[in-house]
Amino acid sequence: MALYASDMPNRRRNHGPEELCAWIVQGVERLGVDTLRAWARFYAGHRVLESARVMTAPVQARHEQRFPRANRLVWASQMSANLLWRFPPTAEATARDAIEVDGGCPCQGTGEITLWGPGISMMCPVHSRAQIAAFRRGYQAGA
């Protein structure tokens, strides 16, 4: 999010970690830590709703309003991921990892999203993250 808000060029080319870190500092200074964290939570919420194919029009509209340059957002996310691979987050930052929906979540806070009718639902990827992760761990372990 900080890279998106910075003066990082839109053109793809190799940038050193020092240059990327300077743009991150610039983005943090522009947005402030609280806004930056809120944007990150909303972006994470958007990503999980999108990947689960349960995106709502109001959430998509707010996302597009916040991040009008989609290609820049993809580029900034890729550069951030590269930096995280090279410089892993602290335990404090990992513990702070949060997801939030900017607006009404499709589950309306219940943890279940009704798909086609009563009795046909899925666990909400935002509000049921812990249960979904536990299920996946059990499935991968062969339980």
Three-state SS at 122:
strand
**Phi (first) and psi of residue 132, to 5 degrees:** -65, -45
**Per-residue pLDDT tens over the stretch 55-82:** 999 999 999 999 999 999 999 998 888 8
The pLDDT mean for the chain works out to 86
- In this prediction the pTM is 0.80
DSSP H helical ranges for the chain: 2-5, 17-31, 33-51, 57-66, 70-86, 91-95, 129-140
- pLDDT classification of 109: cutoffs 50, 70, 90: confident
Amino acid identity, residue 36? Answer: L
**pLDDT, position 67:** 94
**pLDDT, position 130:** 72
What is the C-alpha to C-alpha distance for residues 137 and 114, in angstroms, rounded to an integer?
24
**Per-residue pLDDT tens over the stretch 35-54:** 999 999 999 999 999 998 99
Three-state SS at 101:
coil
Per residue in 77-101, is it b (16+ CB within 10 Å) or e — as a string?
eebbeebeeeeeeeeeeeeeeebbb
